[in-house]
Chain A
Amino acid sequence: MLLNDLLNHDSEWLKGTGPNSDIVISSRIRLARNLDKVAFPHWANKKQAEETQKVIIDAISKVDYLKNSTVFKLAELDAIDKQFLVERHLMSREHAQKSDHKAIVIEDQEIVSIMVNEEDHLRMQVMQSGLNLFEAWNIMNRIDDALAKELAFAFFPDWGYLTACPTNTGTGMRGSVMLHLPALVMTRQINRVLSAIAKLSFTTRGLYGEGTQSSGNFFQISNQVSLGHSEDEILENINSLIRQIVEQENQSRQASLLRNKAMLEDRISRSFGILKSAHIISTEETLELLSMVRLGCDLGLIKDIDRKTLNELFIIMHPAHLQKLQNRKLSPQERDIERAEIVRVKLKI
């Protein structure tokens, strides 16, 4: 697979299917693993890092489940390619920063991706559409077991998997769910919900993970604690929390429909109108308006546009995607024009 093949490719997790896919965009499991007695990436010298990369890529090639995957060395990718992978949620922003002996392995369906020499030797992720944490964990667990046959992982029986940062020690697992919560934001209940989440030791982040602001009413919720509970317990906890938030969002949506239908319809239709007719539009504005259109779809107020098209637009409207689609570097102004064009084409009924 070539990197550019991803451009014309439907990511499995963007399909807009799976349980609660009106509110839950995607579910993701991330697992951190390190090689026993080998210096962690930030502490390794060049030779060690090179060796680690070799050993891991070799092991990955022996895993049956990953036979349809491609290895990309970050040193061989340019800045736009790296940003492109970040925008597709296949890679972290941190991984894109320095590229020495870093690699990323991407499975053809984009369900699985593995970062080599990120903060830990291995950062593996499995993505699924909708609220599907347990299915994601099943896949992840099998890959982890297969790799453990090839590699000796750093592990203490009492403390579990040992990671570069003690915040990941134990299971080394984060389960995270991407939610679209426009009604809770509109009715100003979101802060109450977010502060309740924080009290239960879960973390909320924006569309692109650590340190990003939430835009387009997207919230990523994940577990903070990785030690002291089994993987299943942790996922059970996130799952039941997410179900409650989904319920709250649903209630808010129904209440808004009941009380302020005209206002809601007005906002949604105006958003749709701008997206269908704008010729220059920023990332931020597109996100906000698309969010309203998606809500309109969910509520049946906008017909003829499917969730998948909208989910895809949320990704391809980002700078690196626009530049890859055009196959050249674009200035921020050119991108705003290009973005408006793509949105207009995709939303034309």
Chain B
Amino acid sequence: MLCDVCNKNQATVHLTEIVDNQMTELHLCEECALKKSAEMEQQFGLSDLLAGMAQFEKPTEEKESVSAKCQNCGLTYADFKKIGRLGCGECYGAFKKYLVPLLKRIHGSTLHFGKSPARVTKMSNKKVDLTALRYKLQQAIEAEAFEEAAKIRDQIKELEKQQ
């Protein structure tokens, strides 16, 4: 079977596509398949999903967000919505207001509990620990795990004393 696109090479990739409930089959050679897959990735990427997820509570916020811009790298929020990627770490600060609901939707949380780089640890460990512990306390209480909650409460007291 020859490739449907170039009609020259042997077709080795067989693709089934469903568009508007219409099924089409394509038989492609390796070269054309590569091109096609790049095309498809562009057509529907993660950026579309992300843009769809970043819904705003108030319509005015959406207008406002378009002009928001990261001073460090120059990426605008409109760019982010288009490409689905931020421009640099500082973008997180610049678009904080809009990213909070997005992170919440993706991860179900907006608070980091994992490790920190050694450099940061020295400065902000206590602050992070406290926020994390308070959150955990809340969760323990909700789950009625009172023994666990008491332990966490003691840890919080201990940390607060040190500050």
Contacts and interface: CB of A to CB of B under 8 A. Distances in A.
Interface in B100-115: 102-103, 106-115
A272 interface: no
Contact of A43 (B10, B41, B87): B87
Q: How large is the interface on B (under 10, 10 to 19, 20 to 34, 35 or more residues)?
A: 35 or more
A337 to B, nearest CB: 14
Nearest to A119: B85
B88 A159 contact: no
Contacts of A155: 89, 116-117, 120
A137 to B, nearest CB: 10
Interface residues of A, number: 48
B116 to A, nearest CB: 7
Interface string A23-56: 0000000000011111110110000000000000
B123 to A, nearest CB: 9
Nearest to A79: B34
Contacts of A247: none
Residue from B73, B113, B118, B124 having most chain A Cβ neighbours under 10 A: B113
Contacts of B152: none
A153 interface: yes
Given A37-B72, A211-B41, A332-B30, A231 B85 contact: no
A160 B114 CA distance: 7
A153 B88 contact: no
Interface in B118-163: 118-120, 124, 127-128, 131
A293 interface: no
A37 B89 contact: yes
A226 interface: yes
Contacts of B110: 158-159, 227-228
B89 A34 contact: yes
Q: Describe A's contact surface by its main secondary structure.
A: loop
B5 to A, nearest CB: 16
Contact of B115 (A37, A141, A226): A141
Contact of B73 (A36, A39, A152, A227): A39
A40 B87 CA distance: 6
Interface string B48-88: 00100000000000000000000011010000000111111
A157 B119 contact: no
A12 B116 CA distance: 29
Contacts of B112: 156-161, 170-171, 227-228
B90 interface: yes
B103 A166 contact: yes
Given A158-B111, A228-B111, A36 B124 contact: no
B46 interface: yes
Nearest to A172: B114
B112 to A, nearest CB: 3
Contacts of A119: 85
Contact of B128 (A157, A167, A228): A157
A260 interface: no
A156 B89 CA distance: 9
A160 B113 CA distance: 8
22 contacts: A40-B85, A43-B88, A154-B88, A154-B89, A154-B92, A155-B116, A157-B112, A157-B120, A159-B103, A159-B112, A160-B116, A165-B50, A165-B85, A166-B50, A166-B103, A167-B50, A170-B114, A173-B114, A228-B110, A230-B115, A231-B114, A233-B113
Interface of A: 34-40, 42-43, 97, 119, 141, 144-145, 148-149, 152-167, 169-171, 173, 201, 211, 225-231, 233, 332-333
